[in-house]
């Protein structure tokens, strides 16, 4: 008998008590939790292939829902911890997957849950090395930030890889390169912390209920920069300011912090056009720009 079964006796009994108080415990999708059930085998396969799972992987899943991805992950990995906010869904997951030794279900909000603390008594599930999830789209930014951290405060724990099913438009922004419409502050902030790969596009009809937007699978591979930016906070501020008016030239967006002539000199050093906009500047150049501006000040 695994930890999961033991741990879920408590969960199960507390849930049954709750269930008795309510009549309707069906799994009708709830808008409030951005619930859209994946129903495409093809997309499931794409996700599993992208995750490159091995029998020694300890995987973290956010928002298992009815468990379509959960079921597909379990036989492939050493252990799987899934975090689901919806109590009724948890109750059903306990019923259908409660006997799996390598499965641990935590009921709660991923954004506020202290994962390390919650896993401290479950050695088999500690320190997951991969994330594989079809996440709630309304909190995509916050989930990515919790997984990767920020430029000035990178996450303490680093995952080998993070495969996510997300809104297509966000996927495009995460994987965008300079001079593209989708390239913006999010692209730079996330690409500073992880290599971002586009895996595939997913049509809205792959879900029930059908969301208003198309989706995409992306893979993020967190990395430690050999030469990190000297002043991470400055880089964050520059990115924010640089993209504050997207159509304006950088020198106009930066007017409050640096004289145009001085900025032109710095841009020349980086082989950048003095009339460039934030969207024309590569991540490496953003880092160098922040370093040069720091030396200047």
Contact positions vs ligand SAH (CB under 6 A): 33-38, 62-66, 68-69, 83-86, 89, 109-111, 134, 136, 139
Nearest approach, Cβ of 162 to ligand SAH (angstroms)? Answer: 15
Q: How far apart are CA 161 and CA 49, in angstroms?
A: 13
CB of 33 to ligand SAH, least distance (A): 4
Is 164 or 190 the residue whose CB approaches ligand SAH more closely? 164
Q: Which is nearer to ligand SAH, 166 or 234 (CB)?
A: 166
Residue 69 or 194 having the CB closest to ligand SAH: 69
Q: How far is the CB of 89 from ligand SAH (least distance, A)?
A: 5
Q: 3-class SS at 6?
A: helix
For ligand SAH, the closer CB: 133 or 287? 133
Contact 195, 223 (CB under 8 A): yes
CB of 292 to ligand SAH, least distance (A): 40
Residue 216 CA: distances (Å) to CA of 135, 164, 194:
11, 8, 17
The two beta strands, 161-167 and 79-84, are unpaired
Query: CB 73: neighbour CB atoms within 10 A?
Result: 26
CA distance linking residue 81 with residue 275, whole number of Å = 50
Residue 164: CB minimum distance to ligand SAH, A: 11
DSSP designation for 109: -
Name the closest residue to ligand SAH (Cβ).
63
Cβ proximity to ligand SAH: between 111 and 180 the closer is: 111
Displacement of CA 246 from its chain's centroid (Å): 25
């Amino acid at each position: 008998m695994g930890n999961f079964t033991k741990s879920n006796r408590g969960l199960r009994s507390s849930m049954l008590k709750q269930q008795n108080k309510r009549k309707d415990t069906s799994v009708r999708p709830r808008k409030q939790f951005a619930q859209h059930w994946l129903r495409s085998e093809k997309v499931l396969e794409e996700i599993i292939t992208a995750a490159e799972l091995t029998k020694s992987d300890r995987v973290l899943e956010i928002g298992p829902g009815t468990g379509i991805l959960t079921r597909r992950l379990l036989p492939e990995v050493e252990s799987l911890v899934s975090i689901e906010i919806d109590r009724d869904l948890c109750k059903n997951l306990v019923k259908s997957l409660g006997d799996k030794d390598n499965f641990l279900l935590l009921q709660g909000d991923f954004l506020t849950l202290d994962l390390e603390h919650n896993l401290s008594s479950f050695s088999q599930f500690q320190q997951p090395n991969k994330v594989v999830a079809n996440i709630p789209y309304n909190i995509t930014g916050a989930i990515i930030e919790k997984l990767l951290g920020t430029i000035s405060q990178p996450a303490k724990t680093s995952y080998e890889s993070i495969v996510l099913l997300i809104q297509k438009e966000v996927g495009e922004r995460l994987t965008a390169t300079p001079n593209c419409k989708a390239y913006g502050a999010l692209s730079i902030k996330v690409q500073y912390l992880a290599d971002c790969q586009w895996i595939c596009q997913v049509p809205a009809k792959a879900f029930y209920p059908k969301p208003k937007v198309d989706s995409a699978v992306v893979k993020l591979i967190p990395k430690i920069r050999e030469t990190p930016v000297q002043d991470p906070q400055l880089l964050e501020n520059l990115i924010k300011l640089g993209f504050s008016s997207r159509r304006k030239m950088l020198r106009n967006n930066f007017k409050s912090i640096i004289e145009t002539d001085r900025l032109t000199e710095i841009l020349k050093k980086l082989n950048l056009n003095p009339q460039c906009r934030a969207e024309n500047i590569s991540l490496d150049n953003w880092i160098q720009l922040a370093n040069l501006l720091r030396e200047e000040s």
